[in-house]
Amino acid sequence: MADEAYHIGPSIALESYLNSEKIIKVAKQSGADAIHPGYGFLSENPEFADRVIQANVNFIGPRPESIRTIGDKMEAKLFITKHLQSLPLIPGYHGEDQTVERLEEEAKKIEFPVLLKAAAGGGGKGMRAVYESSQLKQEIEAAKGEALRSFGSNKLLIEKYFTSIRHVEETPSPAVDEPLRQAMTQAAVELGRKLSYVGAGTAEFILDERTRRFYFLELNTRLQVEHPITEAISGLDLVELQLLVAQGANLNTMGLLNNINFRGHAIEVRLCAEDPEDNFNPRTGTILKWSPPKDLEGVRFDTGVQDGSEISVYYDSMIAKICVHAPTRVEAVRRMEAVLKRTVIAGVTTNQSFLLSIMTNPRFHSGTFDTNFIQQENLFPPFNIQKLTSSTVAAFLLDWFTRYSQQVYLKNVPLGWRNVKWRNKRVQFTLQKQEQMVQVQYEYLGQSHSQHRFRARVLSGKEEEDQDLSLSIVMHEPKVNQQRVTSSGISGSQGLLRYEMNGAQFCFYVAEDIREINDKSIFVHDFFSGQQNEFIKLDRLKSKSTAKEDDSVAPYTTSMPCRVLKVLAPTGTRVEKNTPLLSIESMKTEIKIFSRKSGIVNMKVEENQLVNAKALLCTVDEK
């Protein structure tokens, strides 16, 4: 955490973190000796580096002329073509003519698929894979817009897209043998010499595994997001080396780079607020609980979040970088699996379960994977009530215990008690991800010491999946506390919950998110499987009164606040299924909304309109 913090403007990046004048003003105001640009926003902007130096503040990074030459991906390709012809480039276009028409023309000269890339930045922003010419114009316009919002420049370059490559944040790569690694290293060193490069930089190459040929991709004039894995196996502190170079130190004469020995294997994953099952679209929310495992050997968390942190629409969706280091790759994978299972994050949808499914996948274990891995592997298992029974019971028990604890009168009378025979009591939830209803039918059998006993059944409403199995449940008094996140108005119980079910023991972290008097979400983290599920409990009267509308009208809403970028199908347009209706922007990412059926569009928003979460965007009426 910073010793001092200064306000530099509103959350919109163009008015704050991309505003060089404000940043330099704060540096002078605070008496800072230097500015470290990090690895986003203005970190590869040569004009910013120039202004910092002109303000007599040290810029912790390469010289502005180096950033101008190699940090801009278009300029980099021109430089290599002229000065380092031995370094192969990916076929493509990197010219100055940036009109949409010229980009379309050049893309069609390259065999599809092609990759559109922002020239001024990285991290996947302003990047689009295009598989056919009919998609070109709209994808070029979308990539330009996203690049401008992320980096302040809408310049694009076009490259041949290799469909069978790897993008894995681990080292050493299982796909690269020692001779190939040495060849890549030598190419990077030679490029640095040609540039008279000073400071940290990351050379990236693409490897065609069929031919074993590699191509220059880019040189990022900054720390890479995945730099912790380099630090883990080398023992070097790259940020410390950056600071030393900025102070004028010579790393060679200091002996810091002599005899670097790489030890073991390191893997990094990015824990992001996104929904992998919804095309990895970002999600917003309030973190109710953030509890990474502590004191584990070879584990590193880089993060800035805590309980109550808001994941907003204005910045990247990354919550934390998780890095593990172990003697071998097998041990590193096992360690990452264990860390992911023990990391508790409640309150916002994340890719945690998806990351865990990768770490447990046999093909990932073998090292024989590429960028088609997600499409080819079954990483999104279908809804299965049997596998969710224990988590559903945990959600039910927290809900029951909360109501039990809040009883004021007749505390010795069981909840729901009647003096006539009645059917078993029921609690109904909706699983947020699958939008699947689950129901717990239960009978409270009483309390003995600090234990509560139940007989219950968990049902999904699908006869072929439901088992006529009576569950005998013994809940130990939960260690939960009433929490309130005052900034967002969220309250609810959270803590550890243990119980026995048919003789087996279970342990979960549970957290309630109560925003309305009768509606609440219950987040359940299973320490055994590492899975997290969100159960939404609706007030029964309210859920009946707000029954689903006639399916002939399909409403389209957004799960988070956003800005409408473009209306693609105005009111009155007749569309077919999968026709793009509009594009929205949230968390620096452009998202297209497609029609789920054929019909007539009724658009409810306008271009550039700011829209709240869950607001109605449009409807498609098939009548």
- Structural tokens at position 67: 């950033």
Residue-wise pLDDT for 34-89, tens only, equals 999 988 889 989 999 999 999 999 999 999 999 999 877 788 888 998 999 899 88
Question: Parallel, antiparallel, or unpaired for β 610-611 and 128-130?
Answer: unpaired
Query: Phi then psi for 208, rounded to 5 degrees?
Result: -90, 105
Q: Residue 552 — pLDDT band, cuts 50, 70, 90?
A: very low
Q: Which of 268-277, 413-422, 588-597 has the highest mean pLDDT?
A: 268-277
3-state helix, strand, coil in the chain (%, to 5): 25, 30, 45
Query: CA 368, CA 382: separation in Å to the nearest integer?
Result: 25
Say which residues have a Cβ less than 8 Å from residue 587's Cβ, sequence separation at least 6.
273, 282, 284, 312, 313, 314, 315, 316, 317, 560
Domain boundaries, the chain: 264-376, 386-543, 548-621
Whether omega before 113 lies within 30 degrees of 0, making that bond cis, reads yes
Query: CA 378, CA 499: separation in Å to the nearest integer?
Result: 31
This model's pTM is above 0.75: yes
Question: Parallel, antiparallel, or unpaired for β 34-35 and 58-59?
Answer: parallel
Element (H, E) at 396: helix 385-405
For residue 417, the model assigns a pLDDT of 59
Say which CATH superfamily domain 264-376 falls into.
ATP-grasp fold, B domain (3.30.470.20)
- Structural tokens at position 66: 């180096």
Alpha carbons within 13 A on the beta-carbon side of 267: 25
Tell me 111's DSSP state.
P
**pLDDT higher than threshold 50 for residue 584:** yes
**pLDDT higher than threshold 90 for residue 564:** yes
Whether omega before 172 lies within 30 degrees of 0, making that bond cis, reads yes
| Residues 174, 114, 226, 194, Cα dihedral to 10° | 90
**pLDDT higher than threshold 80 for residue 489:** no
The alpha-helical segments, DSSP class H, found in 111-168 are 136-151
Per the CB < 8 A criterion, the answer to whether 585 and 565 are in contact is yes
Question: What is the mean predicted confidence (pLDDT) over 484-510?
Answer: 78
Tell me 276's DSSP state.
G
CA distances from 26 to 7, 23, 60 (A): 8, 5, 16
Query: CA 374, CA 163: separation in Å to the nearest integer?
Result: 12
CA distances from 329 to 280, 310, 354 (A): 27, 35, 20
Number of CB atoms found within 10 A of residue 507's CB = 14
The amino acid at 519:
D
CA 544 to chain centre: 35
Residue-wise pLDDT for 303-362, tens only, equals 999 999 999 888 888 999 999 999 999 999 999 999 999 999 999 999 999 999 999 999
**Arithmetic mean of pLDDT over the chain:** 86
Question: What is the mean predicted confidence (pLDDT) over 426-434?
Answer: 81
DSSP 366-389: HT---TTHHHHS--SPPP-HHHHH
- Structural tokens at position 361: 């996948």
**pLDDT higher than threshold 60 for residue 239:** yes
Q: Residue 464 — pLDDT band, cuts 50, 70, 90?
A: low
Residue-wise pLDDT for 510-537, tens only, equals 998 876 545 688 999 999 888 889 999 8
Greater confidence, 551 or 600? Answer: 600
Q: Residue 272 — pLDDT band, cuts 50, 70, 90?
A: very high
Query: CA 225, CA 40: separation in Å to the nearest integer?
Result: 9
Q: Residue 266 — pLDDT band, cuts 50, 70, 90?
A: very high
The amino acid at 88:
P
Per the CB < 8 A criterion, the answer to whether 239 and 223 are in contact is yes
Provide the percentage of residues in the chain whose pLDDT is more than 70: 88
CA distances from 253 to 189, 238, 245, 256, 257 (A): 18, 17, 12, 8, 9
For residue 543, the model assigns a pLDDT of 46
Query: CA 584, CA 562: separation in Å to the nearest integer?
Result: 6
Element (H, E) at 50: helix 46-54
Greater confidence, 366 or 299? Answer: 299
The three-state (H, E, C) secondary structure of 207-246, written as one string: EECCCCEEEEEEEECCCCCCHHHHHHHHCCCHHHHHHHHH
Hey, is 364 helix, strand or coil?
A: helix
**pLDDT higher than threshold 50 for residue 31:** yes
Say which residues have a Cβ less than 8 Å from residue 341's Cβ, sequence separation at least 6.
356, 527, 528, 529, 530
Hey, is 431 helix, strand or coil?
A: strand
For residue 547, the model assigns a pLDDT of 38
Greater confidence, 416 or 617? Answer: 617
Quickly name the fold that domain 548-621 has. OB fold (Dihydrolipoamide Acetyltransferase, E2P) (2.40.50)
Query: CA 298, CA 552: separation in Å to the nearest integer?
Result: 55
Query: CA 493, CA 500: separation in Å to the nearest integer?
Result: 21
Question: What is the mean predicted confidence (pLDDT) over 241-259?
Answer: 89
Residue-wise pLDDT for 200-218, tens only, equals 999 999 888 788 889 998 8
Tell me whether residue 596 is one of the annotated catalytic residues. no
**pLDDT higher than threshold 60 for residue 485:** no
For residue 549, the model assigns a pLDDT of 43
Per the CB < 8 A criterion, the answer to whether 615 and 558 are in contact is yes
**pLDDT higher than threshold 60 for residue 553:** no
For residue 554, the model assigns a pLDDT of 52
- Structural tokens at position 522: 């219950």
Cβ-in-10-Å burial (0-12, 13-18, 19+) of 481 comes to exposed
Task: Match 């029974």 to its residue by tokens.
Answer: 389
**pLDDT higher than threshold 90 for residue 433:** no
Greater confidence, 570 or 436? Answer: 570
Rg (CA), the chain: 27
Query: CA 331, CA 251: separation in Å to the nearest integer?
Result: 33
Per the CB < 8 A criterion, the answer to whether 208 and 165 are in contact is yes
| Residues 216, 217, 218, 223, Cα dihedral to 10° | -110
DSSP 606-617: -TT-EE-TT-EE
For residue 408, the model assigns a pLDDT of 62
Element (H, E) at 600: strand 599-603
Closest CA to 300 of 319, 264, 324, 284: 324
Quick one: residue 595, left, alpha or beta (phi over 0 = left, psi -120 to 50 = alpha)? beta
Residue-wise pLDDT for 107-142, tens only, equals 998 888 999 988 877 667 788 889 988 889 989 998
Residue among 149, 222, 283, 329 flagged as catalytic: 222
